[in-house]
Amino acid sequence: GNSVTQMEGPVTLSEEAFLTINCTYTATGYPSLFWYVQYPGEGLQLLLKATKADDKGSNKGFEATYRKETTSFHLEKGSVQVSDSAVYFCAQVNAGNNRKLIWGLGTSLAVNP
């Protein structure tokens, strides 16, 4: 079945460090891919998305490229800030799945000043 696998956390970085959070997926067909962010005590916010191969989603300095050949959608940011501390979820949705989101386990990021 369709699934999403994320790198395990927690990830701890110093401010201005480079961030990569790995995400790979298995799917039938061609899903759309998403990164959601959950700040402490808050709900789920869409961070970025990509709907087809080679698309790059970007927002707030974060980027992720839809790589069909490696079935990956890794999240990157060149210089993290303390305010980026949150849990990051990779997810996919496929038209054949009633559009339900299939989620990774989430990766907790802590950025220290």
- Using the rule CB under 8 A, which residue among 3, 45, 79, 83 binds other proteins? 45
- Using the contact rule CB under 8 A, the part of the chain among 15-23, 65-73, 78-86, 96-104 near other proteins is 96-104
Extended beta strands in 15-106, E state: 19-21, 23-26, 32-38, 45-50, 56-59, 62-65, 75-77, 86-93, 101-103
Whole-number Å distance between alpha carbons of 29 and 16 = 38
Draw the binding track, 50-89, toward other proteins (x: CB under 8 A; -: no contact).
-x-------------------------------------x
Alpha helices in the chain (DSSP H): none
Quick one: DSSP state of residue 18? -
Nearer to other proteins, 17 or 85 (CB): 85
**Beta carbon of residue 105, minimum distance to other proteins (angstroms, whole number):** 5
**Is position 98 an interface residue for other proteins (rule: CB under 8 A)?**
yes
